[in-house]
């Protein structure tokens, strides 16, 4: 079951840019709760508390019970905006969740056992191609992350979505052949492989040429016999 956090909020009676600026000057962040076929609710949240939640990570995949004037609303954060200069939150959106609702959500990947990968031990580098996976699941089954085990990957090998076991009740919206992680070879690895292949091929060639050369020596030695036999007629002439 997904972890549920609690967050206190205050209702906003006014909307618009002017009202939002007033909330920020008061140390609060304007936001809205929408969805589940109900009218939207304009709210504000204490800046310090919201900032801590965002900086803690996994904010957009965490279920939240918003306490709004004594009534709790089960929601999930869908978006937040940060000030482009000061980097503090200036707005947040929450989607209201009904009981038994299904949601589409992006969940981060966690790569594990990289230090044990034979490719990494040989100097390769783990290259994370996809940092998150788009999933569809019930609101009570939202995983905090998807674990990807690369402990058996060699250099040049990859791990695909079809190689990952998803939790029960969770399905992916991406292609099963999507590449998640690959082991990138170190610098100069391709040249080393070519040099090793060339050395192996070069070592076999001299041995193949040596056999004909040794065989050719036999006819040369045999050719000397006729030359020696040719002297016999000359010796026979002297006896006569």
CATH code, residues 103-189? 2.170.120.20
| 113 and 96 Cβ atoms separated by less than 8 Å | no
**In which order are the strands placed within the sheet that holds 132-138?**
146-149, 102-112, 132-138, 170-172
> pTM for the whole thing?
0.69
* pLDDT on residue 210: 44
Q: What is the pLDDT of residues 106-155, one digit of tens each?
A: 999 999 999 999 999 999 999 999 999 999 999 888 888 999 999 999 99
Q: What is the pLDDT of residues 188-212, one digit of tens each?
A: 776 777 777 778 887 654 444 444 4
* pLDDT on residue 203: 62
Q: Domain locations in the chain?
A: 4-98, 103-189
Judge whether residue 229 has pLDDT over 90. no
Judge whether residue 168 has pLDDT over 80. yes
Q: How many CB atoms lie under 10 A from the CB of residue 81?
A: 11
Least confident of 35-39, 44-48, 208-212: 208-212
Q: What percent of the chain has pLDDT over 90?
A: 61
Query: Both ends of the chain: CA-CA distance in Å?
Result: 123
Secondary structure of the chain in HEC code, one letter for each residue: CCCEEEEEEEECCCCCHHHHHHHHHCCEEEEEEEECCEEEEEEEEEHHHHHHHHHCCCHHHCEEEEEECCEEEEEEEEEEEECCCCCCEEEEEEEECCCCCEEEEEEEEEEECHHHCHHHHCCCEEEECCCEEEEEEEHHHCCCCEEEECCCCCCCCEEEHHHCCCCCCEEECCCCCCEEEEEECCCCHHHHHHHHHHHHHHHHHHHHHHHHHHHHHHHHHHHHHHHHHCCHHHHHHHHC
Q: How many CB atoms lie under 10 A from the CB of residue 58?
A: 15
Bigger pLDDT: 190 vs 173: 173
Q: Which fold has domain 4-98?
A: Ribosomal Protein L25; Chain P (2.40.240)
Bigger pLDDT: 14 vs 30: 30
Please tell me if the domain spanning 4-98 has the same topology as the one spanning 103-189.
no
Q: Output the average pLDDT for the chain.
A: 84
| 183 and 153 Cβ atoms separated by less than 8 Å | yes
Q: What percent of the chain has pLDDT over 70?
A: 82
* pLDDT on residue 215: 44
């Amino acid at each position: 079951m997904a972890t549920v956090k609690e967050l206190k909020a205050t209702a906003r009676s006014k909307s618009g840019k002017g009202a939002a600026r007033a909330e920020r000057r008061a140390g609060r962040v304007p936001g809205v709760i929408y969805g589940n076929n109900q009218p939207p609710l304009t709210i504000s949240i204490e800046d310090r508390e919201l900032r801590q939640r965002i900086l803690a990570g996994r904010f957009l995949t965490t279920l939240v019970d918003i306490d709004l004037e004594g009534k709790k609303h089960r929601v999930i954060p869908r978006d937040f905006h940060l000030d482009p200069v000061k980097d503090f939150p200036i707005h947040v959106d929450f989607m209201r969740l009904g009981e038994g609702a299904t949601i589409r959500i992006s969940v981060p990947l966690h790569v594990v056992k990289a230090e044990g990968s034979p490719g990494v031990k040989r100097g390769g580098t783990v290259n994370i191609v996809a940092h998150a996976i788009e999933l569809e699941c019930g609101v009570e089954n939202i995983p905090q992350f998807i674990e990807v085990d690369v402990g058996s990957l060699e250099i040049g090998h990859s791990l695909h979505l079809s190689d990952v076991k998803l939790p029960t009740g969770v399905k992916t919206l991406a292609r099963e052949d999507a590449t998640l992680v690959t082991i990138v070879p170190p610098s100069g690895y391709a040249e080393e492989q070519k040099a090793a292949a060339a050395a192996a091929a070069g070592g076999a060639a001299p041995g193949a040429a040596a056999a004909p050369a040794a065989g050719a020596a036999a006819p040369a030695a045999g050719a000397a016999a006729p030359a020696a036999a040719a002297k016999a007629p000359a010796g026979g002439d002297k006896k006569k």
